[in-house]
Amino acid sequence: MTETRIVLVRHGQSTWNADGRWQGQADPPLSALGEAQARAAAGGCPDVDAVVASDLVRAQQTARIIGEHRGFGPVRAEPRLRETFTGEWTGLTRDEIEETWPGWLAADRRPPSFEPWEQVTRRATTALVDLHEAHPGGTVLAVAHAGVIRAIERGLDVLGTVPKNLGGRWFRVNGDGLAAGDVVVLIDHASVVVTAPDQL
């Protein structure tokens, strides 16, 4: 049975990641560190036949940097890999959320406007299955978001943690559906440093 392997990873650090703000489907770019992380990840990324990414800027930038460094070709935008819509929590820090919704984070509660994880799972899983249809037997790099990766894992009853930037998981797709593989981390976070533009 033909099987497609997908390495699904979280984007590099964004400016809002650096500020500790919940992003959801807001569209901040990569920070300087995030760009350095993406460059470092190019060396740790396996050879792939195609690259796709969420249509949000932080994912597109990450995928494009990796692709350009490795010569993987163009990045295709996949809106179904967008981060979870976080409603009124968008742009807030954990402290700001705790102030207005005390105890909700600890209890894993979300406001009504928050996109249900089941919906995220459905759209993202469908996107991965469609990648199998487009690249049967191939290997694909998909750059997405922490909430998306966690939702897919949850849908598969796989125990996961919030992936660090450029971390994620391998997935296998065939005619029987989607299966989770090993956790993957493309960079050594401690070794990634921000390089001044004139030193690039």
Question: What letter represents residue 193's amino acid?
Answer: V
Residue with tokens 């993987």: 72
Question: What letter represents residue 5's amino acid?
Answer: R
Give yes or no: 78 in active site: no
What is the rounded (10 degree) CA torsion for 79, 92, 113, 163?
50
What CATH topology corresponds to 4-85+116-199?
Rossmann fold (3.40.50)
Lookup: tokens for 126: 């469908």
Q: Which of 35, 83, 115, 153 is catalytic?
A: 83
pTM to 2 decimals?
A: 0.94
What mean pLDDT is predicted for residues 33-37?
A: 97
pLDDT digits (tens, 9 = 90+) for 90-136: 999 999 999 999 999 999 999 999 999 999 999 999 999 999 999 99
Host H or E run for residue 57? helix 57-70
DSSP state for residue 84 in the 8-state scheme:
P
Quote the CA–CA distance of 25 and 56 in Å, as a whole number.
7
Give yes or no: 83 in active site: yes
What mean pLDDT is predicted for residues 129-145?
A: 97
CA 52 to chain CA centroid, Å, is 11
Q: Which of 11, 132, 135, 145 is catalytic?
A: 11
* Local confidence band at 25 (pLDDT 50, 70, 90 cut-offs): very high
Map out the domains of the chain as residue ranges. Answer: 4-85+116-199
